């Protein structure tokens, strides 16, 4: 029995590797960590602005938000680490340190943040 040429075997290995990586990065149909974090930070923004309007100021910490037990999952990022929270000069910043929970990083380890002004919502 003849062995396939080395070049064909190499290409086959590369194709399989790309398929495995694609499934790993996409989570096999699950929401990506980037999408989960973006959704949670957007929800946190809404909750912080609700608190601002109801209480007349920003919460001292994210744990001061009035959340149900089910809603409390938004206090942590996709890797179960608490979001960072800072209010400075009328601007709120919520952030995650990525999957490694360390400053810096690239790809899924990259730090992400969402900033917004602390102003009441405009009337429709």
DSSP 83-97: PEEEEETTEEEEEE-
Q: List Cβ neighbours of 85 (8 Å cut-off, separation of 6 or more).
A: 61, 62, 92, 93, 94
72 shares a domain with 111: yes
Question: Which carries the bigger pLDDT value, residue 82 or residue 109?
Answer: 82
Q: How many whole angstroms separate alpha carbon 36 and alpha carbon 25?
A: 14
pLDDT at position 7, please?
75
Residue 57 shares a structural domain with residue 89: yes
Q: What is the pLDDT of residues 25-74, one digit of tens each?
A: 655 556 788 889 999 999 999 999 999 999 999 999 999 999 999 999 99
For 99, the domain range is: 31-117
Mean pLDDT across the chain: 85
For residues 37 and 25, state if they share a domain: no
Total tally of structural domains belonging to the chain: 2
Q: Are residues 10 and 26 in the same domain?
A: yes
Q: Is residue 122 part of a domain?
A: no
Verify that 80 and 61 share a domain, yes or no. yes
d(CA 12, CA 19): 11
In this structure, the answer to whether residues 37 and 23 fall within a common structural domain is no
**Whole-number pLDDT of residue 124:** 40
Token pair of 64 as six digits: 């001061």
pLDDT confidence of residue 23? 66
- Same domain, residue pair 21 and 40: no
Q: Are residues 78 and 91 in the same domain?
A: yes
């Amino acid at each position: 029995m003849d062995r396939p040429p080395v070049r064909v075997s190499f290409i086959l290995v590369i194709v399989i590797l790309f398929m495995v990586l694609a499934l790993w990065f996409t989570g096999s149909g699950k929401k990506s960590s980037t999408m989960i974090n973006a959704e949670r930070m957007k929800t946190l923004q809404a909750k912080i602005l609700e608190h601002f309007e109801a209480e007349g100021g920003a919460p001292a910490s994210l744990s001061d938000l009035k959340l149900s037990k089910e809603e409390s999952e938004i206090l942590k990022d996709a890797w179960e680490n608490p979001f960072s929270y800072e209010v400075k000069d009328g601007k709120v910043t919520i952030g995650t340190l990525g999957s490694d929970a360390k400053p810096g990083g690239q790809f899924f380890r990259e730090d992400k943040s969402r900033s917004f002004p602390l102003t009441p919502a405009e009337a429709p």
